Amino acid sequence: MAAQRKLAAIVFADIAGFCQRVSEDESAGLECRRHVEQLIKGAALTHGGRVIKTIGDAVMLEFYSAVEAVSCALEIQKGMRMFNVERDTGEPVQVRIGVHIGDVVEEDNDLYGNGVNIAQRVQTMAQPGGICISREVYVQIRPILKLRCAPVTTTPPKPLPEFVEVFNVAEEGGDSDPVLFTAAAARAGRDPKQLERLLLTRAADLKIGACLRRGWRLVKAHPGACMAGTGLTLLIGTVANLAPYYGAVVSLGLTGAVVGGFHWFLLRGLRGNQPRLADLRVALSPLFVPVMLAGAIADFPREFAIWLLRNAHRLFAGASADDLRFLYELLGVLILPAVYLFVSWWFARVLVIDKGLDFWPALELSRKVVTRHWLKIMLLMLANAAVGLTGILLLGVGLLLTLPVGVAANLAAYEVLFGTQEDPAKA
């Protein structure tokens, strides 16, 4: 067939972590690839596309419509979620998808050219379970498909052939947001014990300096969003505490949800997504109860220790010198486990939102994993407290910048211990 030039929408779909999956269990990995390939080909046929070729674990599709190409990508990710629910064993299988529309050359039923190269690079910028599209595709689908599209700010693993603006895609109001995929899959049937075994057998090299640098880079990249998110979180917490009579109860209910939402807001940014104020509401429903309980239990040791320190003089009023010595020693003994539990349970809220765990499995998983790195996490939290203190000293206004830096640094540590990012220095 003679070479001919045309305009086409190109879709690249690639199984994330396929090489590692095959190295661990070759037969299971190859069987998984066959299922995924059949799902992709079926979705392409439904939307009027054609399979150009398979390259290892990647599939290249061609469409004559950008709308159909993106619709096919959404159907693939929906099918992958169902596949993982039915499979319900091991880590979920996730696909990265990239879509670009451009000029290509067709020869011998294959496609070549800059349009193909860009589509392949766009695919590498997608999160596992996510979809990325070029601006050219975004312009075509925006008036037709109701989608949330946020610019991707991360650097592609390989340089693009030319400057291309890339967008992350999710269905409007749906759980197809690639960042929410992990929680959706977990709520559908993730076994906490299975997740625990996976995390406890994985080596994690936690570097405090790298976590702090990553937190600073996030705030520097999104200063407005981070300051707005911090201000809104502080405002809601303050107003809840000021409510008469039932203020403490209202604060207890809202603190877990608001802080959990703030953590998710920053975690999305760390993972290369544009932080949005709408992320703050992620813990309101249906995760409100487990996030609230996880937050209340996780914060109790700290509040208990503070209460003891503030009221020690009242509790021990009138005691003899020997009794005071004994009581203060007892107080020190009680505070030590409180500090241990507060540090160990710090990631419970995030685990509820990110992994879809109930409150107690999240608390237990946080404690077991953090215990192996407890001293480093404690030092990181102290360093972040020092960073936050500098913001308070700057008339309190600086807290809008220093607070998100500290929390983001802690979440960078979460990514090392519980997420997919092995080394925050490489992010």
* 222 and 101 assigned to the same domain: no
pLDDT of residue 83: 79
* 227 and 362 assigned to the same domain: yes
Would the pLDDT of 29 be above 60?
A: yes
* 68 and 105 assigned to the same domain: yes
* 155 and 212 assigned to the same domain: no
Range of the domain at 60: 4-190
- Determine contact, residues 316/323, Cβ cutoff 8 Å: yes
- Determine contact, residues 199/365, Cβ cutoff 8 Å: yes
pLDDT in tens, 54-69: 887 889 999 999 999 9
d(CA 420, CA 418): 7
* 239 and 349 assigned to the same domain: yes
**Which of 190, 213, 232 is the C-terminal boundary of a domain?**
190
Would the pLDDT of 9 be above 80?
A: yes
pLDDT in tens, 119-168: 988 998 888 888 999 988 988 888 788 787 887 766 666 666 566 788 88
d(CA 411, CA 266): 8
Paired with 51 in beta bridges are 61
pLDDT of residue 226: 82
* 413 and 313 assigned to the same domain: yes
Would the pLDDT of 353 be above 60?
A: yes
More confident residue, 220 or 248: 220
Nearest to 13 by CA among 174, 49, 189: 49
**Which of 190, 222, 237 is the C-terminal boundary of a domain?**
190
Q: In this structure, what CATH number is given to the domain that contains residue 15?
A: 3.30.70.1230
Query: 47-86: string of b/e by CB count within 10 Å (b at 16+)?
Result: bebeebeeeebbbbbbbebbbbbbbbbbbbbbbbbebbee
pLDDT of residue 194: 66
pLDDT in tens, 303-331: 777 676 676 666 666 666 766 676 667 66
Would the pLDDT of 417 be above 70?
A: yes
d(CA 96, CA 396): 43
Q: Give the contacts of 23 (CB within 8 A, at least 6 positions apart).
A: 29
- Which range is most confident: 79-88, 319-328, 392-401? 79-88
- Determine contact, residues 161/118, Cβ cutoff 8 Å: yes
pLDDT of residue 267: 83
More confident residue, 239 or 166: 166
d(CA 119, CA 103): 11
* 165 and 209 assigned to the same domain: no
**Which of 171, 190, 209 is the C-terminal boundary of a domain?**
190
d(CA 236, CA 72): 41
pTM value is 0.54
Which of 73-87, 280-294, 400-414 comes out lowest in average pLDDT?
A: 280-294
Query: At 329, which amino acid appears?
Result: E
pLDDT of residue 217: 87
How many domains is the chain built from?
2
pLDDT of residue 88: 57
Which uninterrupted H or E stretch holds 236? helix 223-242
